[in-house]
């Protein structure tokens, strides 16, 4: 550190040591300084996220994942891995999603990935609460799509929302009918997804979004992924 106090890798190593020594406030100060001032490269930030996750520092791991995602918005691998980790933590037994998202919202108020993951968690935990969460979910996703019409994960989570809404009989069952809200969803670059027990997993290859998918196709896709669990 004395040779190069501006070296991000050295500062991150210092923060790890402070965390392990129980000096949490100092460790967080070094961590925030590194992210906000030293502009560490993506691979270093992702590595730090994995280290924090492995050591059980969930909040810090999410901070690193979101920082990596915000700094590399067009990297689908980072967005995918960040989204999966955030979803797993937000749906872990004994935790409320507010515990995970409260602090992150203050630091990343406009993060599209964070807003999409908040919507996904609201959709799935628990499903019985979906009727009273509809407006919050659609507000989150509409806000993302207004600023980022081609944000793949927002389209995917909207698909999950309508599939689960149909499953819980909140939409009339009219075979072949188009989902009204999906008619107005902007088309653009998206990625195929399959649901898993820990959330959604994006494939690496971007695909074109088909215009307004039929209701029965969404339901069939959801049922197929449900049977694979």
Residue 165 has a pLDDT of 83
Looking at the whole model, is its pTM more than 0.85?
no
Return the pLDDT at 133.
Answer: 87
pLDDT of 169: 61
Q: Which residues contact 22 (CB under 8 A, 6 or more apart)?
A: none
What confidence score (pLDDT) does residue 132 get? Answer: 83
Count other C-beta atoms under 10 Å from residue 142's C-beta.
17
CB 119 within 8 A of CB 157: yes
Collect contacts of 140-145 with beta carbons under 8 A, ≥24 apart: 140/115, 140/116, 141/115, 141/116, 143/115, 144/112, 144/115, 144/116, 145/185, 145/186
- Res 92: pLDDT: 80
Summarize pLDDT for 166-180 with one digit per residue, the tens. Answer: 876 644 444 333 344
Q: Which residues of the chain have pLDDT under 70?
A: 1-3, 94-99, 127, 168-229
Question: Residue 166: its pLDDT value, please?
Answer: 82
Confidence at residue 66, expressed as pLDDT on a 0 to 100 scale: 95
* CA gyration radius, the chain: 19
Contact residues for 6 (Cβ-Cβ < 8 A; gap 6+): 38
């Amino acid at each position: 550190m004395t040779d190069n106090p501006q070296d991000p890798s050295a500062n991150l190593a210092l923060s790890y040591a402070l965390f392990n020594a129980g000096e949490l406030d100092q460790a967080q100060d070094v961590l925030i300084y590194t992210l906000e001032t030293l502009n560490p490269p993506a691979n270093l930030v992702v590595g730090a996220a994995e280290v924090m996750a492995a050591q059980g520092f969930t909040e810090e791991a999410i901070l690193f994942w979101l920082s990596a995602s915000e700094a590399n918005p067009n990297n689908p691998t980072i967005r995918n891995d960040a989204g999966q980790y955030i979803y797993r933590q937000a749906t872990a037994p004994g935790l409320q999603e507010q515990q995970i998202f409260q602090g992150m919202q203050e630091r990343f108020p406009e993060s599209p990935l964070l807003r999409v993951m908040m919507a996904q968690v609201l959709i799935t935990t628990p499903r019985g609460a979906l009727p009273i969460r509809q407006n919050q979910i659609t507000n989150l996703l509409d806000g993302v799509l207004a600023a980022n019409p081609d944000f793949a994960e927002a389209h995917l989570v909207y698909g999950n929302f309508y599939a689960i809404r149909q499953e819980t009989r909140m939409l009339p069952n009219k075979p072949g009918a188009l989902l009204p809200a999906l008619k107005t969803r902007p088309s653009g670059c998206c990625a195929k997804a399959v649901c898993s027990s820990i959330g959604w997993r994006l494939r690496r290859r971007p695909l074109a979004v088909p215009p307004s998918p039929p209701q029965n196709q969404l339901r069939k896709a959801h049922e197929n992924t449900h049977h694979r669990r």
